[in-house]
Amino acid sequence: MLKALEKRERDFECYPNILCVFQTFNKSHLINRILRPFIAAGFKQIMLFADGCIDETVSEAQTLLTGKQHAVIALNDLHEIHNYRFAINSEWGRKSEFLLLMQDDDLYPDTFDWLDYGLEMMKRDPKLAVIGYRSGVDFQKMCPASRTFESDQFGWSGNKIYPPGGTEATLIEGVDIGSGYGLNFQYCQTVIRAPHLIRIAEFLQNTDFDESFEPYQDDDSNYCLQLWSKGFRVGLVGGSRIARDVGIGGMRLSNALTINSRPPHTKRNHDFLNERYSGFINSGELSKLVENANKALVPSKKRFLYL
């Protein structure tokens, strides 16, 4: 028994400077597929939040996460902002160099070239504090939330998106791996969670998972914009083989967010962003910072940096 325990603990030594954090809601039917690549690779530090789960997520996760620095934490609907803040401020978070944030509606490939690519980009640019792997948003104009924000329809045309109230933005997506370009990188104003790869020390010194935005929504935009305002940068890695929207995410599963219906706190959160960053955005200062950062990348046909 002792030899088996020693072997089990030695098996989890991969990426020791990264704390992997999963946010889950009622995913007992998927949890094995979600965690399997990370367990097979031997990730040393994994923290999984089973938040408000009423299925078998906790017991299923406990049978899978057997490392000495693996933890399954059951909480009662505290949501992602609280839980990610808990993780980054934990002893494991404070002792790690990077935080890798994940949710429960993505499935990950068996290899971690996407993560290695992001870590290399962090190494090349010490001011790069957050990398997203899903998509990003560049704002052209930010306005206060409309009076009817909670029921206004979210609009889009091509890659242009129109949140309620007159705000205008562009959806930024990395080149798909099917294009033959492989993994690629570009800077953008904000990246949509998740996954997010975060440089912990710089993040904690300059921003946070702001509790003002709880229970959820727009805190990822807040910390991306705050980092740009303090001289740091945010980027997007495209071309990963992460399968999206395999399980329905918690907010959609609870029907809390739809195209024309959103909780009252989302209006409050949008106005937080507007109060804090509309001047930075509407003046064109932020767009210029992002444009200059992208111009400084190694030249390529598509404005991406290829390793």
Tell me the per-residue pLDDT of 179-190, one tens digit each, with 9 for 90 and over. 556 899 999 999
Q: Percent of the chain having pLDDT more than 70?
A: 89
Q: What is the CATH number of domain 1-104?
A: 3.40.50
Q: What is the pLDDT of residue 8?
A: 59
Please state the rounded mean pLDDT for residues 160-170. 90
The number of beta carbons lying within 10 Å of the beta carbon of residue 291 is: 13
Render pLDDT for 140-161 as a digit per residue (tens, 0 to 9): 999 999 999 999 988 888 899 9
The pairing of beta strand 14-24 with beta strand 98-103: parallel
Model confidence at 134: pLDDT above 70:
yes
Model confidence at 3: pLDDT above 60:
no
Q: What is the pLDDT of residue 28?
A: 84
Q: What is the pLDDT of residue 260?
A: 84
- Three-class HEC string of 117-177: HHHHHHHHCCCEEEEECCCEEEEEECCCCCCCCCCCCCEEECCEEECCCCCEEEEECCCCH
Structure tokens at 272: 């937080």
Structure tokens at 290: 């992002």
Please state the rounded mean pLDDT for residues 8-31. 89
Place of tokens 């505290």: 78
Which region among 17-26, 171-180, 273-282 has the lowest average model confidence (pLDDT)?
Answer: 171-180
Domain residue ranges of the chain, discontinuous segments joined by +: 1-104, 116-307
Task: Name the residue among 89, 49, 278 with its Cα closest to residue 165.
Answer: 278
Look up the pTM and report it: 0.91
